[in-house]
Amino acid sequence: MDILKVIDLEKSYIDPDTKDHFKAVDGISFEIKANQIYGILGPNGAGKTTTLEMIEGLTDIDGGFAYVKGINVAEKPFEVKEIIGVQLQSNEYFDSLSLKELLILFGKLYENDVDVAELLNSVNLIDKINAKPEELSGGQKQRFSIACALVNKPDVLFLDEPTTGLDPQAKHNLWKLIRHLNQLGMSIVLTTHNMEEAENLCHKVAIMDKGKIITEGSPNDLIAKFDSDNTEKGNLENVFLHLTGRDLRD
Amino acid sequence: MINSLQLHLAKVFLKIFLRNRQAILFSLFFPLLFIGAFSFSGGERDPFLIGISDGSKSQFSSDFIQALEREELFTILEGSFEELQASLEEGEIEGFVVIPENFKDISDLGVLKFYVDASQTRQVTIIKQALNNSLVSVERNIRNLSPLFSLEIEDVKARNQRYIDFLLPGLLAFMIMNLSIAGSGFNIVEYRRRGILKRLFVTPIKPKDFIVSIVLARMLIVLTQLSVVLSIALLLLDVNIVGSYFSFYLVVILGTFIFLCIGFALGSLAKTQEGIRPIVGLFTFPQVILSGVFFPISSMPEIVQPIVYSLPLSSVVASLREIANDGSSFFLFSNPTIGVLLWVIIAFVISTRFFIWKEVAK
């Protein structure tokens, strides 16, 4: 069964400068099988975050449909919120609360009693149980925000650029955690513009540009298809640049 | 009515507040500064210094002067008309009474004249009352009547009209407004800026739960802060709340609710941290000036009075004041009380209209 199904999803905004409508997400469709890690790749402004926000119920859907485990997001957003876990790009929390207090609070939002120790163990932060988020390093902060997204034992986990700004050690550590969660049976959707990350983690990727999905497939298939002329072993980065062009994006 | 999530969230908000020592101190700082200033100046009931120019030197006039001297409200200074007029202009005395020459002839005592500085109108009413009292007691002596009514009542009344008694309810209402708007409005904007609202919004929490819990927590915080200031005022300044504390606190609670709701609306309107300050300023500043916090609305031009009376702060100030000063009750449903109740409804409606989870969480 598809754990996530998106059909002709659309979102338009009004450009504050030109007052023109533009489509941030322009009729995209994809589906994700249970237990997959699915990567949405794209340059800045491609519409990756907007796509996630529509599926998460954060942003209204202008056109098309999104179903999580068969539940229509637009019709039953609160039912969807119960079964998904979300990590946002910005990770700030209420002041002066410890990790323990924050996890208990997040648990309450789902009417769950959280096993804080187990949760912090799973993200390797048990020794920081009484620390405040602002005292954590970048990698620790990301792991903590994943812990927050796990309080409801979600079926699907959404990660928005989880490794942006992390050093290589922290990045690899986080990949390990994501793989581990996937092995436990969780479906994971992540956005990234790190090709290495997509190649390493994802079973399937979609490359997005200007609100559209321009190609979709497993990293190996895409490399074989678009970067086969390369004498050395091809990589996803070349595929990406080939498809989205080398122009600078803002 | 209140579910366990709301209670838990309210506890969390309280915890956050209690761990922020700076915010606690600052929220008490200004009201206490005000009260401190009054405890040094207005706190000790300085008697009014009143001049007397006695033109008759009769039995009646000396009786009258003695009666005035017994009045706790006054310290009497005798002098000539010219001397007293000079002192009054210098601001050394509050006013002076001129006793006419014929103040010995029972058939034609003439008119006592009381000279004042017109800018001190509030005190004039008090002084005039006390002067009348003294005249009445002299008159009773002459007519050999024993007083029908005890003078004690008049004493209490005079005490209740000290400026601090007038000011305190206004100051408390002002405090309620500032603390509540800061508590909801500034917090909303701050939580939004940091993406905290967005993070909450991806969980199944309902906006109602969020609002109720903030209102609960803030209500408790404001009530505590207010009680601290009020008890210090009661102890230090010998202020008296004539009406019931129940009525008084009922208005306090409703007032807090009004301004918390308005804070939510203003916080939802303001898109940025820079935006919220002018918006809040625009809302609070005119009210501080106009709503009778520092001086009565009735001293304002009549044409603006209806508008001024309809401001939310005016209703809260007037309602607290009539309970504290005049011993009114909430359940008499006077105009100010009805004003408060109307504002509760208006504020609730606008807060739910403006605080749209999806918009605010962005």
Q: Tell me: pLDDT of A187 over 60.
A: yes
For testing contact with chain B, the best of A94, A97, A157 (most B CBs within 10 A):
A94
Chain A contact for B9 (CB, 8 A cutoff): yes
CA–CA gap between residue A86 and residue A159 (Å, rounded): 6
* Nearest-by-Cβ selection for A58 from B4, B15, B202: B202
A29 near B CB under 8 A: no
Of A84, A94, A110, the CB nearest to B196: A94
Which residues of B fall within a CB distance of 8 Å from A68? none
What does DSSP assign to residue B151?
T
Assess contact for A206 and A40: CB atoms under 8 A: yes
The pLDDT assigned to B124 comes to: 73
Quote the minimal CA–CA distance from B359 to chain A in Å: 9
What domains are defined for chain A? 2-244 (3.40.50.300)
**pLDDT tens digits, A97-136:** 999 999 999 999 998 888 999 999 988 899 999 999 999 9
Binary contact (B15, A78; C-beta < 8 A):
no
CA dihedral defined by B87, B89, B93, B99, rounded to 10 degrees? Answer: 80
Point out the residue among A57, A105, A110 whose CB comes nearest to the CB of B12.
A105
Decide if B208 contacts B289 (C-beta within 8 A): no
For the stretch B310-345, what's the b/e string if a residue is b when 16 or more beta carbons lie within 10 angstroms of its beta carbon?
ebbbbbbbbbbbbbbbeebbbeeebebbebbbebbe
Beta-bridged to residue A66, according to DSSP, are A6
For residue B240 the two structure tokens come to 């008296």
Domains of chain B: 4-41+162-361 (no CATH), 48-160 (3.40.1710.10)
CB atoms within 10 A of CB A239: 28
Please check the confidence at residue A205 and state whether its pLDDT lies above 60.
yes
Q: Which residues lie closer than 8 Å to B72 by C-beta, 6 or more apart?
A: B45, B47, B155
Indicate the burial class of B37 (C-beta count within 10 angstroms; 0-12, 13-18, 19 or more).
Answer: exposed
Report d(CA A9, CA A65) in Å as an integer: 6
Residue A106 is nearest to which of B16, B203, B206, comparing CB atoms? B203
pTM for the model: 0.75
Question: If you ran DSSP here, which 8-state letter would residue A154 be given?
Answer: -
User: Most B CBs within 10 Å: which of A98, A104, A105, as the mutation test of the B interface?
Assistant: A105
Residue pair B179/B24 in contact by the 8 Å Cβ criterion: no
ipTM: 0.87
Distance CA B39, CA B277 (A): 32
Is B196–A60 a contact, with Cβ atoms under 8 angstroms apart? no
Based on the number of CB atoms within 10 Å of its own CB, is B173 exposed (0-12), middle (13-18) or buried (19 or more)? buried
Which of A59, A94, A108 lies nearest to residue B16, judging by beta carbons?
A94
Q: Does the CA dihedral A184-A189-A191-A193 come out positive or negative?
A: positive
Our CA-based measurement puts residue B269 at a distance from the nearest CA of chain A, in whole angstroms, of 18
Choose among A60, A94, A105: nearest Cβ to B358: A60
Is A81 within 8 Å of B202 when comparing Cβ atoms? yes
In angstroms, the CA A25 to CA A210 distance is 7
Sheet with A71-72, side-by-side order of all strands: A21-33, A2-14, A63-68, A71-72
Report the 10 Å Cβ neighbour count for A74.
Answer: 14
pLDDT attached to residue B44: 47
Q: Decide if A35 touches B, using CB distance below 8 A.
A: no
Q: Strand B74-78's sheet: what is its strand order?
A: B74-78, B48-54, B95-99, B113-116
Contacts of A108 in chain B (CB under 8 A): 4-5, 8-9
| Those residues with Cβ within 8 angstroms of residue A250's Cβ, 6 or more apart along the chain or in another chain | A44, A45
Q: Give B79-134 as a DSSP string.
A: --HHHHHHHHHHTSSSEEEEE-TTTT-TT-----EEEE-GGGHHHHHHHHHHHHHH
Whether residues B199 and A111 touch (CB distance < 8 A) is answered with no
CA gap A173, A179 in Å, rounded: 10
- Give B6 or A242, the one with higher predicted confidence: B6
Q: How far apart are CA A186 and CA A181, in angstroms?
A: 6
Contact flag A90-B195 (C-beta cutoff 8 Å): yes
Q: Give the closest of B8, B195, B205 to A92, CB-based.
A: B195
Q: Answer with the residue of higher pLDDT: B44 or A75.
A: A75
Q: What is the pLDDT along chain B (362 residues), one digit of tens a residue?
A: 788 889 999 999 999 888 888 877 877 787 778 777 766 654 445 677 888 888 888 887 888 788 778 777 788 888 888 888 888 888 778 888 888 888 777 777 777 888 887 766 556 777 777 778 777 777 777 777 776 666 554 544 444 467 778 888 998 999 899 889 988 888 888 888 888 888 988 899 888 888 889 899 999 998 998 998 888 888 887 788 888 999 999 999 999 999 999 998 888 888 777 788 888 888 888 888 888 888 788 878 888 888 888 899 999 999 999 898 888 888 888 888 999 999 999 999 988 888 877 777 66
Q: How far apart are CA B281 and CA B182, in angstroms?
A: 11
Query: Mapped to the 3 state alphabet, what secondary structure does B192-247 carry?
Result: HHCCHHHHHHCCCCCHHHHHHHHHHHHHHHHHHHHHHHHHHHHHHHCCCCCCCHHH
Residues of chain A neighbouring B200 (CB-CB closer than 8 A): 109
Closest CA to A144 of A133, A156, A160, A134: A133
- Contact criterion met (CB < 8 Å) for B9 and A81: no
- Contact check, Cβ <8 Å, B203/A81: yes
Q: Say whether residue B208 is in contact with chain A using an 8 A CB cutoff.
A: no
The rounded distance, in Å, linking the Cα atoms of B16 and B9 is 10
Does residue A189 contact residue A31 with C-beta atoms inside 8 Å?
no
Tell me how far the alpha carbon of residue B316 is from its chain's centroid: 9
Provide the chain A residues 85-144 that lie in CB contact (below 8 A) with chain B: 86, 88-97, 101, 105-106, 108-111
Rounded Cα gap, residues A246 and A189, in angstroms = 26
* Residues on chain A touching B198 (C-beta within 8 angstroms): 58, 88, 90
Q: Is the pLDDT of residue A155 over 50?
A: yes
